[in-house]
Amino acid sequence: MSTWEATGVGSHPGDDHLEAIRVVFGEVPNLPYLPELPARGVGADMIGRTAGLLVDLPVEVQPSGWRLADRPGRDHRRAVDHLRRDLDGLEEIAHDYAGPLKLQVCGPWTLAGAVELKFGDKMLSDHGAVRDLTESLAQGVADHCAEVRRRLPGVTEIVLQLDEPGLPGVLAGTVPTASGFGRLPAVEEWRVEESLRLFPDAVVHCCAPSVPFALLRRAGVRGISVDASLLRRRDEDAVGEAVEAGVTLFLGVVPGRDTRLPDAGVVAKPALELWRRLGFDPESLSGRAVLTPACGLAGASPGYAKAALAACRKAARVLRDDPASGMQGG
């Protein structure tokens, strides 16, 4: 059972990392997270930020995107510097924080579909390269978590989120080759399951259609984070099996870009209706679902990003305090 209630996916607009951290800790205090600000440029994007964590796999930016390099260079240093600055800000603002903290990194399969080998196609084209990448990432993530714990000794647990928007394409064989003229072969499910076990108790975020719920459940993830508007009735058996297996659902119920936000009851409605269709006790919903924006907030205005997190928190109170009436009212 979770008491997290609400959180964000990860990315925020603008380049003021201190303000973004203040907003996060103010609006989703039950499960705050280290926000990412991709608008700062190279090395602050999802791929570059995570590539900067890799152990013994330096990267650089080429016209086609990120690529493995012989040695750490300017692009690698930028990614490391951005993250160090963010950790300094986190320590400054949350030095006396006590509770859980969420950290986001790009998952191994989305990363492998984006980073190219030194000479050749994307890392996803080579099973050995993907294995090396996954092991390097697992070590880098462990080091990153240890650094956060050292800086914030009051953190009671670190909730690791793997961002895997590319995973459905990896499984379906729709990831483009480096040239863009072909498609890389589909990856077998067992390879994905095996790799995810190197990140025990991770939450896997996938804001694309066709989230592989059954695969993720078998891999032993602690949570699955999705855009609730992309769930289809055909997904619901697999969603129900995941919930019964103890997986926490992170449901994206607020758009990631500026819009007029409805009241808390309307925001909570997709979660309430899903729970009703799955046949679960409404009283259990707030302990098994965490409300979030549908995806990252990098494309939103700063004011909307703050309001979106607040809306998720208020809707989570509906799930907690009066879920049955919310279902009847829906």
For 277: left if phi > 0, alpha if psi spans -120 to 50, otherwise beta; the answer is: alpha
Model confidence at 48: pLDDT above 50:
yes
Closest by Cα among 60, 181, 33 to 121:
181
Evaluate whether 221 touches 202 at the Cβ level (below 8 Å). yes
Q: Kindly report, residue by residue over 92-140, the tens digit of the pLDDT.
A: 999 999 999 999 999 999 999 999 999 889 999 999 999 999 999 999 9
Query: Would you state the pLDDT for residue 329?
Result: 45
Residues 6+ apart with CB under 8 A from 26: none
Would the pLDDT of 320 be above 90? no
Secondary structure (3-state) at 9 = coil
Question: How many other C-beta atoms can be found within 10 angstroms of the C-beta atom of residue 143?
Answer: 12
Lowest-confidence segment of 26-35, 56-65, 214-223 by average pLDDT: 56-65
Separation of alpha carbons 2 and 288, rounded Å = 6
Predicted local confidence at residue 180, as pLDDT: 86
CA distance 303 to 267: 18
The answer to pTM > 0.85 is: yes
330 confidence band (pLDDT: 50, 70, 90): very low
